[in-house]
Each structure stands twice: as C-alpha cells, then as structure tokens.
Amino acid sequence: MQKKALERWSIEKSADLYNIRNWGGGYFDISEDGNVVITPFPGQNANGDRVAVSMLEVIEGVKERGLDMPVLLRIENLLDAQLAHLHGCFNQAKEVLGYKGDYRGVFPIKVNQQHQVISEMTAFGSRFHHGLEAGSKAELIAALAMLQDPEALLITNGYKDEEFIDLGLYARKMGYNCFFVLEMPSELDLILERSKALDVRPLLGVRVKLSTQAGGHWEESGGDRSIFGLNTTQLIQVTDRLRAVDMLDCLRLVHYHLGSQVPNIRDIRSAALEASRFYAGLVEEGAAMGYLDVGGGLAVDYDGSHTNYTNSRNYGVEEFCIDVMEAVMTTMDEKGLPHPTIITEAGRAVVAHYSVLLFNVLDTCRFTASRPPEKIPEDAHHLIRNLMEVREVFSIRNVQECFNDAIYYRDEIRQLFKHGRVTLRQRSMAEDIFWNILTRIQETKKLLKQPPKALDGLDYALSDIYYCNFSVFQSLPDAWAIDHLFPIMPVHRLHEEPTRRAVLADITCDCDGKIDKFIDSHGMRRTLQLHKLKDECEYYLGVFLVGAYQETLGDLHNLLGDTNVVTIRIKENGDYDFARELEGDSVADVLSYVEYDPKALMEQFRDIAENAVRTGSISAQDRRRILKAYRAGLAGYTYFER
C-alpha cells in the first residue's frame, strides 16, 4: 500500500512526460486538478495568484455554443505577448549594447494569412510600429488595406509584375514605407520604368545570397544555390545601373533570409555578420542605405529540448536579438558607419504559440495479445511447438535470445502458410503465441537496466491506435509533409497515469493520415503515452504551437474541410471572452470547392429518390426522410459529429 502511494502519479510527472514547461514558453501549464491551463501572462507566475484558464472549460464553452470538435483555438493574448516579447528583447539589446539605430519588425503574411491574425497583428502591433511583409500581389493588396500605421514598414519580396509594382509605387506616393526588395536583377528595369512613368522615387532593397547556410529543413534557402537573391556580380550590376540613372539614393536596404526555423545560433550570428559586410559594401558603393533586414528564421522550440535539433533551437529570443545587433554594430563601428535600422521578418516565432488544435478521440484499437492456447494440439506443426517452447523458457535472463527465436519461428510459419503447409487456424495460433511472447518481453524490458537495442521498436509494434477526429492533411500538413514534430498531449486527466502507448490515426482513412512521431527531449519517440478511454467520457487531445504555416498549407484530402475556429481573449482578472467564432466548412462548402453544385446534387438525388418511389423500392415517406438526411448532410460539418 505504502509503495503504491509512493509511486502515485502526479501532475509533475505529466509535466515532465509531455515536457509542457519547456515548449510552452510559459503560456501553458498543468493545474492541480490535472487540466492544461493557459497562463497568458507569464510574468505573473511568481506571485502565486496567476491567471490560469482551463482548456477543458474552454472546450465546454465551445460546445455550449454549438460548435463541434475539432476546433482550432486561438488565444489572442499569446500573439500580443509574443510580439511584445520580441520588441522587448530588441529594446533591451539596444540598451545593453548602446546600439544607436532602431529596430522594426514586419510580419510575413504567408506565415498565417488569416484575416483575424493580420488584423490582430496590425492593431496590437501598431504600438511597436510593427509592419507587414508581402510576397505576392494578393498579400500586398491585403497589406495595403490592413496596415494603417504610417511609421510601420511594408516590405515586398517575391516576383513582381507591373501591376504589383504600380500598386507599390502608389503606396509610396501615399506615404507608406513600401520597399521593393529585388529578388533578381531583371526586376530592376521594370521598377525603373514604372517609377519614371508614375513619377515616384521608390524605396529599393536587395536580397543577397549569403554563403552562410543554416542547418534544418530549409537550409537551401540560403547559400549559392538558393533560388532567390542576388550574387555579388549581380549586386554590383544593380549599383552601377542605379548610379547611371542617378538613383543610388533609392537603394536603402539589404535583405537576406536564411530559411525558416534556424536551430543554431551560430548560423544566425554568422549570417548577420556576413550581411553587415554586404551592407557596408553597398554604402561604399554610394547607396544611401539605412536598413538591414535579417529576414525570418527565428526558431520555435517545438520539442522543448533547447538544442540545435530541427524542431528546436539552442537560443532564446533575447540571445537572438543581442547576437544580431552585436554583429551589425561591430561591423558598422569598425567602418565608422551609422547604425542602421534592423528589420526582422520573424513569422513562426510570433504566431506559433497562438493556436492550438483540439480534437476528441473517437475510438481506440488496443493492442492486446490473445491468450495462447493452453495446449497445443497433437498434430500441430513442429515450428508451432518450438514457438510455444520459447514462451515456456522465457525469463529475464534470456530476453534477447527469446526475442530473436520468436521472430524466427513466426517468420518461418508465415512462410509455410504462403506455401499452403500451415492452415489459417494454425497460423492464427502461432501469431497469438508470438504476440504473447512479445508482450511479456515488453513488460520485462522495463525491469532491465540496459535493454538490448533490438527491443527499441517493441513499444511501437505493441502500441494502441487512437482514432482521432481531425485530418492531418487539413490541420497539420507539416507533420505529414516534412515530419515536423508538434507537441501533442491530453488536455485533461493529467493527474492520472497515462498507461497506454499509442499512435494517432486521423479520420481520412489514408494510411498516411496518422501521427507516429512525437517530441522527445532526446530526439523523437514513436509512441505517445495516453490514458485509457472512459465510458461516456470524451477524451481530448491538443496539438500545440500550430499557429504558423499549418492553416493555408492544409488541403481537402478526403474532403475534410476547415475546422471550426474559436478565438478567446483572456482578461487580467482571468475572465475570458469568446472574441470570435468562425464556423468550419460544411459538406456543401467543400463540395463546391471541387466544383460540385450542392443545389444540383440535391436535385439529382431527388430524381433518383423519386424514381425509387416509382419502382416501389421505397415509400413516399421514406423519400421524405431520405432527402431530409441528405440535405442535413450537405449542411453539416465535414468531421465526425456525435
């Protein structure tokens, strides 16, 4: 009894298991009663009476408002807090280092284009003159209407046609700080031509190809082979061209982008140093300059390991700011140049924390080895007898040997089955014995100090499948496409021990529609520890840090559409408002995306039903009920509804 008490599960154990305090950025924690709570004001943690909002309570509120799972929950405060944090860190770096220039941030719209996000970004961001970065015509058009702060910057990257350039030039005329960043030399001619035609002097920038490359998924964004940016020859050509038309005063900015999610601070520093040299070189060429834009790349610690793994980063925002500023300052001081305004285009780091995907578990397929037979029939194949023997001699001293033997006999028996020398019933018996042995090995493995390497995959092989109400393709495209790891955990019952090991399957019925790679402070693990489902009780999981890139990259695989979106704003006293609700796609919506006309479908189906009445296979009343169900289906949510 006493031993049991000592071993009792605790919320602390859950916090360690899911590592929430390391990836949560101070915004998420676990309450005494085992719920994930949102702690939107991290500075408060010390004084004991911090504001903490239970996620389960939010889910209940969402359901009371008639919205079903899955739901993308946005917590507005976290966007504000991350933005304030970035600016706070740069201000502090400025003070510490005595940097004389300014800092300006812009948010790259492509990271999360949703109107709500950009609207909050520009409204809250105006106190820091936080601007926007647009990489396409559509993004520019959105940005022009959304950005109301005359001091904020509007940086345009990407390939620009005449329409794009004209809009940017008009914007300049109206007083926007709209920069054209040249991605390739050929863009310059058109910009010069249109500037002359519209009589506007543009603000120009150049994107440079650095030799610095960053590790991680996006390492090819930098370096000689990157598809964007000017090499040094092209850079000189651009300055010569501008000099010839007496427009070197329009060249104001140098930009680079190392790629997203740069995990190693060494690369950040080295790129800032190299870019500073480009900046100084352009000043020497006679360009007016004044702005150094370090692009994006500020990483998010998705696994909480604080390392240079791809899903992490070995630095904090504070260190990022200090290192970038110091690199720029050192170069400028050495050359006796004024300190430029430093611009960042941090996207992921600002919005990742802001959204959490919540869904319920619909069902589980528990791995349970059936009982092997008490007695092997007399006529059983000798390999089955051998397998049974392995089971009998198994002990803690021969784990590895029994594991190897079990696999050997199982494979042999499968082989014989293929050749028709073992019956289906015999094979089934063999499989039962085999899994029974493996289950025992797995249990014994826990007692071993150094379990054999060969047993590493055992937890995975014996894991449960939890069927979850969401689509990987729609809501977590990076988890599918580039094996990106997001922190995933139950949002309640955290005072109970999670006794099952599971992989997650979504409801797309695609064999890729699963998650079987999870964060781990030493890399990656193949199963997630979860609780047993309880009858009559929903079990909710949250996928955290999904505010960047996931929404518009998602697709309509199996015609599962956009999820419901709910935005909350938490007040200083801990109350919260459901600030906005956005219903997800209905079945009719997604069908119309793939060019069905829901009305026409209804009519076609009605004709078929009418025909069925005529031939007598259904009654007229049946027809009414069937058409009602069809109509309700069209109007309904694309996900599983209870």
Of 464 and 478, the one with the shorter C-beta distance to ligand PLP is 478
How near is the Cβ of 111 to ligand PLP at its closest, in Å? 5
Task: Considering the complex, state which of residue 34 and residue 295 has its C-beta at the smaller distance from ligand PLP.
Answer: 295
What track of x and - describes contact with ligand PLP for positions 102 through 121 (by CB under 6 A)? ------x-xx----------
Return d(Cα 575, Cα 59) in angstroms, integer. Answer: 15
- Name the residue number minimizing CB distance to ligand PLP: 296
Using rule CB under 6 A, residue 85 touches ligand PLP:
no
* Residue 302: CA count within 13 A, CB half-sphere: 31
- Residue 265 touching ligand PLP (CB under 6 A): no
Q: Which is nearer to ligand PLP, 70 or 295 (CB)?
A: 295
Nearer to ligand PLP, 86 or 191 (CB): 86
Q: Does 260 bind ligand PLP (CB under 6 A)?
A: yes
Distances (CA, A) of 445 to 397, 435, 451: 11, 15, 6
> 108 or 498, CB closer to ligand PLP?
108
Closest CA to 157 of 23, 282, 295, 10: 295
Residue 348 in the binding site for ligand PLP (CB under 6 A): yes
What are the contacts of 55-63 at 24+ separation with CB within 8 A?
55/356, 55/358, 55/491, 55/492, 55/540, 55/542, 56/491, 56/492, 56/540, 58/566, 58/568, 58/576, 59/358, 59/491, 59/540, 61/578, 62/564, 62/566, 62/578
| Nearest approach, Cβ of residue 346 and ligand PLP (Å) | 5
Q: What is the spatial distance between Cα 622 and Cα 639, in angstroms, rounded to a whole number? A: 26
Stretch binding ligand PLP (CB under 6 A), from 90-98, 138-146, 291-299, 371-379: 291-299
157 vs 529, which CB is nearer to ligand PLP? 157
Token pair for 401: 């040997």
Cβ proximity to ligand PLP, 179 vs 434, nearer residue = 179
- Residue 111 or 489: which CB sits closer to ligand PLP? 111
Show the site string, 158-197: x = touches ligand PLP by CB under 6 A, - = not.
Answer: ----------------------------------------
Task: Please provide the DSSP assignment of 502-544 as one string.
Answer: EEEE-SS--TT-EE--EEETTEEES-EEEPPP-TT---EEEE-
In the complex with ligand PLP, which residue's Cβ is closer, 200 or 352?
352
Q: Are 288 and 279 in contact (CB under 8 A)?
A: no
Tell me which H or E stretch contains 572: none
Interface size with ligand PLP, residues (CB under 6 A): 17
Binding to ligand PLP (CB under 6 A) within 620-639 occurs at none
Instruction: Select 24 or 347, whichever has its Cβ closest to ligand PLP.
Output: 347
Q: At 158, phi and psi to the nearest 5?
A: 85, 170
Question: How would you classify residue 79: left for phi > 0, otherwise alpha for psi between -120 and 50, otherwise beta?
Answer: alpha
Residue from 70, 297, 477, 554 touching ligand PLP (CB under 6 A): that is: 297
Residue 280's CB is within 10 A of a number of other CB atoms, namely 21
The answer to whether residues 264 and 214 touch, using CB atoms and an 8 Å cutoff, is: yes
Pick between residue 39 and residue 234 the one whose CB is nearest to ligand PLP. Answer: 234
Question: Is residue 295 part of the contact set for ligand PLP (CB under 6 A)?
Answer: yes
Site string for ligand PLP, 29-68 (x = CB under 6 A): ----------------------------------------
269 binds ligand PLP (CB under 6 A): no
Binding of ligand PLP at residue 125 (CB under 6 A)? no
Local structure of 450: helix, strand or coil: coil
Residue 263 binding ligand PLP, by CB under 6 A: no
Short-list 494, 489, 543, CA closest to 356: 543
Asked if 346 interacts with ligand PLP (CB under 6 A), we say yes
- The piece of 188-196, 255-263, 480-488, 600-608 that touches ligand PLP (CB under 6 A) is 255-263
Q: Does 296 bind ligand PLP (CB under 6 A)?
A: yes
Taking the complex as a whole, the smallest distance from the CB of residue 594 to ligand PLP amounts, in Å, to 29
Rounded to a whole number of angstroms, the minimum distance from the CB of residue 260 to ligand PLP is 3
**Angle, to 10 degrees, between the axis of helix 598-615 and the axis of helix 620-635?**
160
Question: How large is the angle between the packed helices 187-198 and 232-244, nearest 10 degrees?
Answer: 20
- Residue 258 or 591: the one with the smaller Cβ distance to ligand PLP is 258
- Residue 501 forms beta bridges with which residues? 529
**Three-class DSSP category at 613:** helix
From candidates 70, 304, 340, 347, binder to ligand PLP by CB under 6 A = 347
Q: Does 257 bind ligand PLP (CB under 6 A)?
A: yes
Q: How far is the CB of 255 from ligand PLP (least distance, A)?
A: 7
End-to-end CA distance of the chain: 41
Cβ atoms of 290 and 339 within 8 Å: the answer is no
Name the segment binding ligand PLP (CB under 6 A); options: 94-102, 145-153, 294-302, 580-588: 294-302
Task: Give the residue, chosen from 19, 39, 122, 157, that forms a contact with ligand PLP under the rule CB under 6 A.
Answer: 157
Our CB check for ligand PLP shows the closer of 299 and 383 to be 299
- Is the Cβ of residue 263 or residue 295 nearer to ligand PLP in the bound state? 295
Q: Which of positions 507-566 make contact with ligand PLP (CB under 6 A)?
A: 548
Instruction: Find out whether 272 and 323 touch, Cβ atoms under 8 Å.
Output: yes
How far apart (Å, rounded) are the C-alpha atoms in residues 374 and 377?
10
Of the candidate residues 76, 345, 405, 551, the single one contacting ligand PLP (CB under 6 A): 345
How far from 167 is each of 58, 142, 148, 150, 481, CA to CA, in Å? 43, 12, 16, 17, 35
Q: What is the binding site for ligand PLP (CB under 6 A)?
A: 108, 110-111, 133, 157, 257, 260-261, 295-298, 345-348, 548
